[in-house]
A and B are shown apart, each in its own frame.
Chain A
Amino acid sequence: MDQGSVMEAPVQAEPGAGVYNEKLGMWVFLASEVMFFTSLIGSYIILRFAHPEMWKGPGEVLNVALTAGNTFLLICSSVTMVKAFAAVQDGDQAGLRKWLIATTLIGATFVGVQIFEYMKLVEHGFVPSEGLYGSTFYTMTGFHGFHVTIGVICLIFVTMKAFQGKYTATDHRGVEVVGLYWHFVDLVWIILFTIVYLI
């Protein structure tokens, strides 16, 4: 029975949030992620304010230039994600695939650069047990990197499904929902980059 697109519908349920389930679910899930990162970032702020002398200045230990470039890459990947979503909305399958591949590759590069940065830092003796500075740096950026990695894995799945033609102009929930997650992960990074690298 064709009820039309699952992304819009005549009401057979009570009016709910006005968005389809997967999108509502992702927004709600992201609220929990906000709380998770707040617990880590909030702890960092408390610990740093109490003992500012235990931190080094910007650039003394961390490679700000490299990470700034990495940040730019991640922001670009949000742009490519938006372009992928716009493409599928217009029924442009080729555009969808192109922009999804771009997002996935840039995301993977971000993770790769972070891993490279970690290796360099460890080489120079900056490890998680290196006082509060090391503890907070690795925990915050590490869990962010973990979330980006999960995002990349999801992007790979979505890209594969795009190549199988599973997304249409009328039903592209997977693309929108993974996009929401991806933008969130980007936003958290912008905050982290500012307070960890620039301050």
Chain B
Amino acid sequence: MATTATTLDGIGAHPHVDAHHDSFVRRYIFSTDHKIIGIQFLLMSLFFLMIGGILAMFIRWQVGFPGKPIPGGGVLPETMAPGGIVLPEFYNSIVTMHGTFMVFFAIMPLLVGVFGNYLIPVKIGAPDMAFPRINMASFWMAVPAGFIMLAGFFVEGGHAAAGWTSYAPLSANPELTGVSTGQVLWSVSLIILGLSSILGSFNYITTIVNMRAPGMNWFRLPLSIWSLFITAILVLLAMPVLSGAIIMLLFDQTIGTHFFRPDTGGQPLLWQHLFWFFGHPEVYILILPGMGMASDIIANGARKPIFGYTSMVIAIMGIGFLGWGVWGHHMFMSGMNPTLGTGFMISTMLIAVPSAIKVFNWMGTIWRGNIQFHVPMLHSMAFVSMFVIGGLSGLFMASTPVDIFIHDTYFIVAHLHYVLFGGSLFAIFGAITYWYPKMFGRLMNPFWGKVHFILTMITFNLVFFPMHSLGSQGHMRRIYDPTQYEFLRDLQWVNEMISMAAFVLFASQFIFAANFILSWTKGERAGPNPWNDNGLEWSLPSPPPHGNFAVTPTVYRGPYEYSSPLVTEDFLPQDLKLEGNRESAAHAAGH
């Protein structure tokens, strides 16, 4: 008996618009509705983004003003900052946890957990995810993982202090850091979070493959969905490798195994290979959905089709595929065979190409457009321009001889923040602002959106651009007190300036937070399609009902038919049926 694709009805998720009579708990706490789960991830991730930001403030206070007491820091325990002066061991924990929270509990869930969940069903015309209950489980596993990670601050010995990269044997041997329970909690938290991510990933893949509405063929998918699809494949295949590595680390820490302990045959480099085999696809996980959503927003803002849609898709696939072969570029100085280094250098150079294609195509999209500077468009243009800087700085470290000098310096810190903050976080700000009306039925305040954008854009560059210079002078990273080194003392004024800009950068985020919170109840009410976008979600009420589409939509065209000659408006929704055969002429023209 043939087993073929199921109907949308067949999976048991009937599109219906009638009110559910479930309890508050069932509807909003233990919900299986992808939209509610997406919002749950949003609230959780924004909380952890704030935690990551607070930790960054500690870092910048200490680096900018070493040995000076933090104003009000007297409230911190003696084990962390006696008299408000950060201890070196606490500093190492802060650096570790800033990276850990930002990567795993802020950026990754914001891109994958929030927008993967929220956008996929509504943008492909499905009533929900393929596995709604597994989706709920995915969120409710991330929450305890977050608690466990927070708990590490309160245990004896303090939190993990071996960097977010947790290199062994520093991380495996408590004697080397004085940290034992904290590192164990770090490991356990990430194992649980990894499982949460894996559950999400096969849900997303199954949904995108099997549940696209009629007419939504692969080359009519929005780039946000393409990027989330490739990202889900990366999560699926990379997270388990991290889980395996962390399990081995956990066993070294707790039951005395020898995976990474050299005195008994273990190999510290094995940890690095495993970690970065996961870690490099991870950084593409952290950027691809941002690229996809920025594409959607840029086409909308420019009122113009995406330039080179097919190459954009191929570039996403290229980045996803090539990303598996570059992990060794994090290990050029590690002591691994130098010939491997050369191989990884070549593969790393190559991966610049698909990213460059995307940048040129974004430029091609706004070329001869009719650009509306709504707040999401501002953030998306910032995304492109800042990502370019991050990408270009990557070329320096890709060159192995140059990396000899800049590895483990602030040049790397500059690069990673340009791609993760300048890239991912700006894309996230744009995406939150863009889909906020769909999620909550109200618009965020555009004036304060612009104020937040301008302040963030200026201070972000003041903080991170000078770090290229620090790195090119040899300023090492993860350094509690740079003034210990004579060659760094003349640069200390730069650190001070960066820190002051960082405090303003952090403060500016309260504008976004206030806008987010207040608009929930006081924002201007939004209709179904405030941005005049073509995607399927914009045909639904804001917010959409449980089950999304009362009638399964039929898709007639791609998502970027802006300024089409077939209609008078400058947009043309994917599911709008046009009379007569006007479309076939356009199709004959080759799109």
Q: B245: CB under 8 A from chain A?
A: yes
> What are 14 sample pairs from A and B whose C-beta atoms fall under 8 A apart?
A1-B9, A6-B12, A16-B209, A20-B3, A20-B10, A24-B206, A25-B202, A25-B206, A36-B241, A39-B245, A46-B267, A47-B259, A47-B266, A139-B259
Determine if A35 and B267 form an interchain contact, defined as CB atoms under 8 angstroms apart: no
* A-B interface, 6 closest residue pairs, ranked by CB to CB distance from nearest: A39-B244, A129-B256, A16-B210, A135-B257, A36-B240, A6-B10
Flag whether B350 is at the interface (Cβ < 8 A). no
Interface size class of B (residues with CB under 8 A): 35 or more
A146 to chain B, nearest CB (A): 11
Q: Is B170 engaged at the interface, CB distance under 8 Å to the other chain?
A: no
Q: Do A19 and B5 touch across chains, with their CB atoms under 8 A apart? A: yes
Q: Are A17 and B265 in contact (CB under 8 A)?
A: no
Q: Are A39 and B241 in contact (CB under 8 A)?
A: yes
Q: Interface majority SS on B: helix, strand, loop or mixed?
A: loop
Contact A43-B259, Cβ < 8 Å, known A9-B7, A14-B212, A33-B240: yes
* One of B22-30, B148-156, B213-221 at the interface: B213-221
Contact of A23 among B3, B8, B237 (CB under 8 A): B3
Question: Which residues of the other chain, B, contact A187 by a CB distance below 8 angstroms?
Answer: none
CB distance from B331 to the nearest CB of A (A): 15
Complex interface: chain B residues within 8 A of A5 (CB): 1
Query: Is the Cβ of A8 less than 8 Å from the Cβ of B259?
Result: no
A33 to B195, CA, bound (A): 11
Our pick among A19, A21, A139, A169 for the contact of B248 (Cβ within 8 Å) is A139
B211 within 8 A of A: yes
Rounded to whole angstroms, the CA-CA distance of A36 and B240 in the bound complex is 5
User: In the docked arrangement, what's the CA distance between A23 and B2, Å?
Assistant: 13
On whether the beta carbons of A21 and B6 are closer than 8 Å, the reply is: yes
Partner of A139, one of B131, B206, B238, B257: B257
B244 and A36 contacting across the interface, CB-CB below 8 Å:
yes
Give the residues in chain A near B10, CB-CB below 8 Å: 3, 6, 9, 20
Chain B positions 203 through 234: 1 when the CB is less than 8 Å from some CB of chain A, otherwise 0? 10110011111111100000000000000000
Flag if B1 contacts A134 (CB, 8 Å): no
A133 to chain B, nearest CB (A): 9
Asked if B36 is at the interface of the complex by the 8 Å CB criterion, the answer is no
B270: Cβ under 8 A from any A Cβ: yes
Whether the Cβ atoms of B5 and A35 lie closer than 8 Å is no
Give chain B residues whose Cβ lies under 8 Å from the Cβ of A35. Answer: 236-238, 240-241
**Which chain A residues border B203 with CB–CB below 8 Å?**
25
Task: Answer whether residue A7 sits at the interface, using C-beta atoms and an 8 A cutoff.
Answer: yes
| Nearest-CB residue, chain B, relative to A138 | B257
Residue among A20, A24, A39 with max Cβ neighbours from chain B (10 Å): A39
A8 / chain B contacts, CB cutoff of 8 Å = 1-4
CB-based contact A43/B248 at 8 Å: yes
- B-contact bits for A39-55, CB 8 A (1 contact / 0 none): 11001001100110010
Q: Tell whether, in the assembled complex, residue A13 and residue B244 are in contact, meaning their CB atoms are under 8 Å apart.
A: no
> B7 near A13 (CB under 8 angstroms)?
yes
Q: Which residues of B contact A139 (CB under 8 A)?
A: 247-248, 251, 257, 259
Cα distance A21–B210 when bound, in Å?
A: 7
Q: Are B251 and A128 in contact (CB under 8 A)?
A: yes
Chain A nearest Cβ from B8, distance in angstroms: 6
CB pair A50–B267 under 8 Å, yes or no, is yes
Q: B243 at the A/B interface (Cβ < 8 Å)? A: yes
Q: Which residue of B lies closest to A132 (CB)?
A: B265
* Shortest Cβ distance from B264 into A: residue: A131
A170 at the interface (CB under 8 A from B): yes
Q: Compute how far the CA of A49 lies from the CA of B241 in the bound complex, rounded to whole angstroms.
A: 20
Assess whether B11 is interfacial by the CB under 8 Å rule. yes
B237: which of A10, A32, A37, A40 is its contact (CB, 8 Å)? A32
**B478 on the interface (CB 8 Å rule)?**
no
CB neighbours of A143 from chain B (8 A): 247
B8 touches A47 (CB 8 A): no
Contacts of B348 in A (CB 8 A): none
**Complex interface: chain A residues within 8 A of B238 (CB):** 35
A47 with B270: CB separation less than 8 A: yes
B interface footprint on A121-162 (CB within 8 Å = 1, 0 otherwise): 000000011011011101100010000000000000000000
On whether the beta carbons of B130 and A19 are closer than 8 Å, the reply is no
